[in-house]
Structure 1
Amino acid sequence: MMKMVSCATYEGIEAKVVHVESTLTKGLPSFSVVGMASASINEAKERVKSALLSNEFTFPPKRITINLAPSDVKKEGSQFDLSIALLIALDYLSDDLSEWFVFGELGLDGAIKENIQLYPLLLSLANQKIIKKAIVPYESLEKLSNIPNIEFYGVKTLNEAIELLKNSSEAVPNSAHKKIEYPKYSIDDEEYYFDDNYIEDFLDVKGQEVAKRAALISAAGFHNLLLEGSPGCGKSMIAQRLRYILPPLCSDEILDIAKLDALEAKEPQFKPLRSFRAPHHSSTTASVFGGGSYRAKIGEVGLAHRGILFFDELPHFSKGVLEALREPLQDNKIRISRVNAKVEYPSDFLFVSAMNPCPCGNLLNAQKECRCSELDIQRYKNRLSDPFLERIDLCVVMQRVNPNDKATLSSSDMHKQVIEVHKRVKLRGQNRFTAKLSDAETEKYCVLDSEAKGILDMAVERFALSFRSIKKIQKVSRTIADLDESEVIQKRHVLEALSYRRR
């Protein structure tokens, strides 16, 4: 008689349900696992044998076949150990076990061990709404209880799991959904959380009022930002502080960010703080976008989802990386195609970049002499193509550092303004950040008065703006108007948006 429980494996960064089936039949004693199992799953046979024998179970002298269905999907991971052991130990049980999801790595003594990869697997299954209850390692309950709508049954040993399934009708989940303990507010029955601990504060940035204003606009509308200036003028400081003033997160977004942390083998924090990814300019295309010969793994672009992707020394990145970045900047997703796998990742991030005005960095410095020839400067700037630069909404030339510069705006003050804009956007009915609006949504929400429209028409004629550039100016103007608490985009909003256009 065949028995079955459910487990899961990865397909890209999403979970794929795997049905673990078993039959114990008469014949020469053997133990085989079929269904495109990886080496880690085949090694599970020895762990399962040892765990059963260590807990006074007689290993059945039968032909044991474990099938992992569907058979055309490669299965990886040690989370299948407990499923296999339970099917063998409970072969005599007549109850239907098909509704149970079972996850856990077995020790040789039958102890059930924690696996950091369980969190993204279970979160993905929960998002797909295909799981109701799961047996998991007891040590993982603290993390897993952050995932809503799943009943978790934590077990410490193989014997506990066996007893639980023997009396499954009386089993009680031992984990309640954990609430997020951070400041929050509600809009249309959705709660949004934010962190008011500003570890890096904009008060540390002296002067640079134009750049800080651009950073505020960037954070409020999720507009891509390019900072250009001499070395040491504060470009990286502004970029690093930007993450602390970004818009609040709903619970689903917090869980998504924690899932990406777990995929990178980091301990999930479950904080309403968006990620900040800053790959080095020598990074390869595969490390930035993801890749792999068999299984396409996630890269920096995917890990920056819902957060910031920061490119310092922008022109020093390879031409291939910069041009490949145009797709996720436009479509908010990245596609990786390999012979054995085709994967699509969401990559809805805020792109922030910094560059020097010339290779030596002294072109804008009045006290230092620039050592670059005109040809060197032209080659340096030509590394950035016009189609790539068109995808950047705000371009700012940083001011010269002055010893009399003072701190003006704190991160707390800026974040309050961003939160107010976020509330206005949500109450207006926008489901996306202003910078991410489609063309139809841009026409609906970015309404210009007659004077503003006249200024924009003049700019189109004078600067020969492309269709994409026009839409970006409209969106930036909409965010500036929101900061100004204006329902309609006015002339001054369009003029400020035009001032951030790259010349």
Structure 2
Amino acid sequence: MKSLKCATFADEVQIVNVESSFLRGLPGFSVVGLANTTIKESENRIKAALLNQNFNFPPQKIVINLSPSDIPKRGSHFDLAIALLIALQKENFDEDFFVFGELGLSGELKSTNSLFSTLLFLSQKVKYARILVPKNIALKASSIPNFEVYAVENLDEALKFFSDDEFKNNSLVSSMHPLFKNCIEINNQKFVPNFNFNFDFLDIKGQDRAKRACLIATCGMHNILFEGSPGSGKSMCAKRLVYIMPPQSINEVLLTTAYESLNNKEIEFSAIRPFRNPHHTSTRSSIFGGGSHSAKIGEVALANGGVLFFDEFPHFGKKILESLREPLEDNKILISRVNSKVCYETKFLFVAAQNPCPCGNLFSKKSSCVCSEMEIKRYKSTISSPILDRIDIYVAMDEIDKNDKSTISSKEMYEQVLDVFKIQKSRGQKELNGKMSDTEINRFCILENSAKEALEQAISKFNLSQRGINKALKVARSIADLSKSEIIMKNHILESLSFRQRGA
């Protein structure tokens, strides 16, 4: 009996031993071990690929076992391991390899959309592993820690890999993905800077207060709500936030790519953080993840590390808005189904935009609002106080004026955010200001006496909840960092409180 290793991803990654045995009996080929339809179909692909490599099937019964047998297996990436075990049954070879790859009928090797996520989560289960993968994913796989990556293009090269030591050594992937060649180092940690400003804040004229709010929000990943008349620039601000956010660590880039892989998308590393913008008609399952049988990833997890933008905020269903509480507060979401339970990280910057009333003209000095008080109340009734309490920054957008001018570019804002990011890291913070725990707030949010008095007055005047107090402190910490102040001063706490929505 021969064996190679592979892996499958359901609720989590499971290591699978692919075993083969040739038995006496009528010639046949079967795969056992709770293999799904995709793996069952691989029998014909593997036969065609081996026959095209001039392999003669012996007059025996071939049994492939995927162990442990009580765990469901899925994915066409098992093809290569099965084909190698059949072709090399009579040979002695190094079996201490993880082997992944889908076979074409002529023997070419292909990657699958979910393979990168399988590899990334596998790296968290093993301290060290040697893996053989298709060449088109090898450079990305080599960026994953704990792996020694080898690459081949087709079945013929894979067979040669296990029989020719020189070819094996030459197949080792030693080059680095281009994205990680220009990393910046902060506190002995590498981060991937962004130099792409396709959507620039220079395009937005006026709106100085909104731009200031955007700068503060990105410094600490603070949730933000824009309210203003149609055409005032709410969506423009939201779409430019990802270009000025702090640089990602290599692990953050890998995790973002892995989540995209779980969404069956063709993956590519990017220095730009994810931006997800679900429509208000989207279903609850598409936003939060789930499905009838398996716990599929949703928009809130795909936005991890980046921006989740809800345009036309009040038009989202009340159930959807209330379900935002957990991912906004705990920075994770647990999806439970009968057959699966999976937890995803949701450390995103939440951005919401809304009109002040159904007609949109309540804040306008040029157009008259035609909405009644009841219509305005009904329009905003879906947004509860607990949801507003989770918003760090509220901005009432100004009306556009013909004299408004561009004031600051995305590049200039990004440089300020980068300076603040370095301050936070040198201070020893694991999380950005907006995602700090209560313990970290007590440690890093030190107020001068006049700032304490101002906060106490605000607590009494605006009836702030404990969450509201913490939000005000976190925003003030980011404002102080922008001023390069170690201690939060009175003007910092006052500016932070000025961004609180009254009643929130």
TM-score (structure 1 length as normaliser):
0.96
| Aligned with 1:126 (options 123, 126, 133) | 123
2:308 alignment partner, SS class: strand
Residue 204 (structure 2) pairs with residue 200 (structure 1): no
What's the counterpart of residue 336 of structure 2?
337
Distance 1:142 1:393, change over 3 A: same
Identity of aligned residues (%): 50
Distance 2:165 2:289 in 1: 42
- Answer whether contact 1:146 1:177 (CA < 8 A) is retained: no
- Answer whether contact 1:182 1:194 (CA < 8 A) is retained: no
What's the counterpart of residue 389 of structure 1?
388
Residue 102 (structure 2) pairs with residue 102 (structure 1): no
Matches within 5 A, 1:325-404: 325-404=324-403
Q: Deviations over 1:142-184 (max 9, x none)?
A: 4434334422222222222122113458721332141535654
Distance 1:324 1:139 in 2: 39
Matches within 5 A, 1:179-328: 179=177, 180=179, 184-328=183-327
Letter in 1 for 2:74: E
What's the counterpart of residue 35 of structure 1?
33
Distance 1:182 1:174 in 2: 19
Backbone CA RMSD of aligned residues? 1.7
Q: Which moved more, 1:66-75 or 1:240-249?
A: 66-75
Letter in 2 for 1:352: V
- Answer whether contact 1:120 1:263 (CA < 8 A) is retained: yes
**Structure 2 unmatched runs, 5+:** none
Distance 1:336 1:166 in 2: 45
Distance 2:472 2:217 in 1: 13
2:4 alignment partner, SS class: strand
What's the counterpart of residue 22 of structure 2?
24
Q: Deviations over 1:336-388 (max 9, x none)?
A: 11111111111111101100001111111111111211101011111100011
What's the counterpart of residue 406 of structure 1?
405
What's the counterpart of residue 446 of structure 2?
447
Distance 1:389 1:398 in 2: 17
Letter in 2 for 1:299: G
2:144 alignment partner, SS class: coil
| Aligned with 1:137 (options 134, 137, 142) | 134
Q: Which moved more, 1:218-227 or 1:105-114?
A: 105-114
2:20 alignment partner, SS class: strand
Residue 50 (structure 2) pairs with residue 76 (structure 1): no
**Structure 1 unmatched runs, 5+:** none
TM-score (structure 2 length as normaliser):
0.95
Letter in 1 for 2:163: K
- Answer whether contact 2:46 2:103 (CA < 8 A) is retained: yes
Q: Deviations over 1:310-353 (max 9, x none)?
A: 00000000111100011000001111111111111111111011
Q: Which moved more, 1:183-192 or 1:247-256?
A: 183-192
What's the counterpart of residue 147 of structure 2?
150
Distance 1:185 1:158, change over 3 A: closer
1:141 shift after superposition = 2.7
- Answer whether contact 1:148 1:177 (CA < 8 A) is retained: no
- Answer whether contact 1:258 1:268 (CA < 8 A) is retained: yes
1:152 alignment partner, SS class: strand
Distance 1:158 1:232 in 2: 57
Equivalent pairs counted in the alignment come to 500
Distance 1:119 1:219 in 2: 29
Distance 1:121 1:489, change over 3 A: same
1:258 shift after superposition = 2.1
- Answer whether contact 2:279 2:311 (CA < 8 A) is retained: yes
2:431 alignment partner, SS class: coil
Matches within 5 A, 1:439-478: 439-478=438-477
Q: Deviations over 1:85-123 (max 9, x none)?
A: 1111111224451x2011111122222223333222222
